[in-house]
A and B are shown apart, each in its own frame.
Chain A
Amino acid sequence: MKTSFIQCLALVALICAAAACGCTGTNGPGAQVEDEIAWNLTLTDGTQEKVLSFSEVKALPAWEGYGYAVSTVGIKYGPYNVKGVPLTALFEQIGGFETGDQVGISAPDGYYWVFDDEQVAGKGFVTFDEDLKEKPSPDLTLVLAYEFNGTAIPEEDGGPLRVVVGTAEPGTITEGSAWVKWVDTIEVERS
C-alpha cells in the first residue's frame, strides 16, 4: 500500500513537472544562441558587396557591453547585456569607413536609419539616466548585436541582428530610434 502511494505521488510529480515545462516554455527561441540561424547580412558601399551569414557575423571579433533603449513616448527596453560586432569591424569587410561617410541601415520591415561619421565614432547621441533625465554621454559604441543577456535576440525584440548603441558600463539609456531591428542590409555612402 505504501509502495503504491509513493508510486502514485511520483507519477503525479512527473506530470506536474512535464506540464510546468509546457506552461513556461523553457524551450523558447531565445533559450540558446544558435549558430545556424538562417539570416543573411548584406554589406555594400555601392561598388562592392559582401553577404555574411549569421554564423559568419558571429565569427568576427566580438564586442561585449551594455545596452538600454527608450521609445519616443518613454517606454524603456532593457537593460541588456549585449554581445555583437562593432559596426566599424563590419565596415572593414568592404573597405572601411572614412570621415564624411554615412551608413544607412535597413530591415525587411522597411525601417531605414542613417548614421553619420560622428555617430559611427560614438558621438552625438542623447543619453539619459534611469529616470530619463539627460546626462553627459559616456563613450558609446555602435554595435550590430546578436545576443541579449546571453541568449539569441528573439524575433520580437528585433533579432537575430539589431543595432545597439552600447556602453562599457551599465546605466545609460539611449534613444531607441537608432536601434534598428531585424537588420539585413548595411550600406555605406562614400563621401
Chain B
Amino acid sequence: MRGLPLMLLLLAAACVLTAGCTGGDDAPTTLRVVPAGSLLLPMEEVEAGFEASHPGVDVQIEGHGSIQCVRQVTDLHRAIDVVVVADEALIPDMMYRPMEEGDGNYTDSYTTFATNQMVIAYTNHSLYADEITSENWYEVLARPGVVVGISNPMLDAAGYRSLMTTTLAEDYYENDTIYDSILGDHLRPAPEISQDGATTVITLPEVLKAEGEKVRVRDGSIYLLSLLDAGGVDYAFEYLSVAEGHGLNYVTLPPEIDLSSAAYVDDYKKAVVNLGFQRFGSIGSERVGNPIVYAATVPNTAPHPDLAHEFMDYMIAEFSEGHGEGWPSPL
C-alpha cells in the first residue's frame, strides 16, 4: 500500500511526458504547398485566407522554380500536398509516370487556373527609361551601355521564356538581329542556334555565363528585382504580375511574342529552348514555346489528399476572382 502513491505519481508523470512527445490532439495539421516563385506574393494571401477558415490547419508555403517544385515529389520523394507550377506542361511531362515505390503515377490530373505574360520591367533610374515603349523596346535594350537581366533558363521558366520572347521577336519585327544583340552575343559560350523548318532551336551550353557587362544571369527572378532596385541592371524580362507586385515600371509586348495568348500557340511553338544535356533525371531537355498557364495538382503521395483538394479548390477560386496587381490573370 505504501508504494501505491509512488506508483500513481510515476504513472501520472509518464502520461504527461508521453502526451508531450506525441503532440496530442491539438497539434495543427500541416499542409505543405510548393508553388512557383512568381506566385509567392498572392500565395501569402491564399494561405492566410485558408487558415482563417480552417482552424487547426497550418499551410506551409515553400517556393521554388517550377521544375524544382515538381522534383520535390518525383525526385526527392518529399511529403507534398499541393504542387503549383508556372508551366502546365511540366506536370504531365514529369508526374504522369509511375512512382518508384507504390502503385500508380505521381499524379494523373491537374487543373489550370491562371495565365501571365512576359514584360520588360525597369525603374525610373534605368538608362533611357524616358524613351522605352512597347514599340521600340528591342532597340533600347540593344543600345550600348544598357544592361539586361534574365533568370537562368536552366533553372527558371521565366529564364527560358526570355529566350523564347526575343527569338519570336525576330519574326514579328522582321529583324534577325534582336536575339543576338540583346542576349546571344553576350553569353559565353554563345548558345547554338539552329533552324528546324520554321522553328528556331536555342541549345544552351553546359555552363551558361554572361560575357562582358551587357547581360546579367541570375538563378531566380527575385535577384533581378533587387538588381533593378540597385541599378545593377536597367531592364529585366519578368512576368507581368511580378513587375506589378513589386511596383516596377514595365512595357508590355505584342501578344504574338509575350506568351500570353492561346490564340498564338502555333506561333509560340516556333521557339524551342534545348538544355543540351539531361539537366534533371525526371525531365526532358527540351522546352517548347507555349502560352504561360499556371497549373496545380495534388500528388498521389500527398499526406492529406482531402484537405489538399480543398485547399486547391479554394486557391483556384481566389485566383479566378482576379485580385489585381501581383496576381496572375485568371484564365
Is A71 a contact of B232 with CB atoms below 8 Å? no
Interface size class of A (residues with CB under 8 A): 20 to 34
Task: For B280, give its contact among A23, A102, A111, A126 (CB under 8 Å).
Answer: A111
Q: Smallest CB-CB separation from B62: which chain A residue?
A: A75
B316 within 8 A of A: no
The winner among A12, A16, A72, A124 for most chain B CB atoms within 10 A is A72
For chain A, residues 111 to 137, give those with C-beta under 8 angstroms from any C-beta of chain B.
Answer: 111-112, 114-116, 119, 124, 126, 132-134
A32 within 8 A of B: no
Count contacts on B: residues with CB < 8 A to the other chain: 42
Contact flag A4-B2 (CB < 8 Å), given A72-B156, A177-B152, A177-B155: yes
Is B232 a contact of A74 with CB atoms below 8 Å? no
B249 within 8 A of A: no
Q: How far is the CA of A103 from the CA of B2 in the complex (A)?
A: 74
Is A110 a contact of B207 with CB atoms below 8 Å? no
Task: For A71, give its contact among B10, B64, B278 (CB under 8 Å).
Answer: B64
Contacts of B331 in A (CB 8 A): none
A11 within 8 A of B: yes
Contacts of B76 in A (CB 8 A): 109
Contacts of A112 in B (CB 8 A): 277-280
Contacts of B10 in A (CB 8 A): 8, 11-12, 15
The winner among A16, A109, A124 for most chain B CB atoms within 10 A is A109
Q: Smallest CB-CB separation from A176: which chain B residue?
A: B219
Task: For B6, give its contact among A8, A22, A124 (CB under 8 Å).
Answer: A8
Is B63 a contact of A73 with CB atoms below 8 Å? yes
Contacts of B227 in A (CB 8 A): 134
A64 within 8 A of B: no
Interface string of B31-46 (1 = CB under 8 A from A): 0000001001000000
Contacts of B191 in A (CB 8 A): none
Is A110 a contact of B75 with CB atoms below 8 Å? yes
Contacts of A176 in B (CB 8 A): 219
B144 within 8 A of A: no
Is B21 a contact of A116 with CB atoms below 8 Å? no
Is A109 a contact of B37 with CB atoms below 8 Å? no
A19 within 8 A of B: yes
B269 within 8 A of A: no
Contact flag A74-B230 (CB < 8 Å), given A19-B17, A104-B206: no
What residues of chain A have their CB less than 8 Å away from a CB belonging to chain B? 4, 7-8, 11-12, 15-16, 19, 22-23, 71-75, 102, 104, 109-112, 114-116, 119, 124, 126, 132-134, 175-177
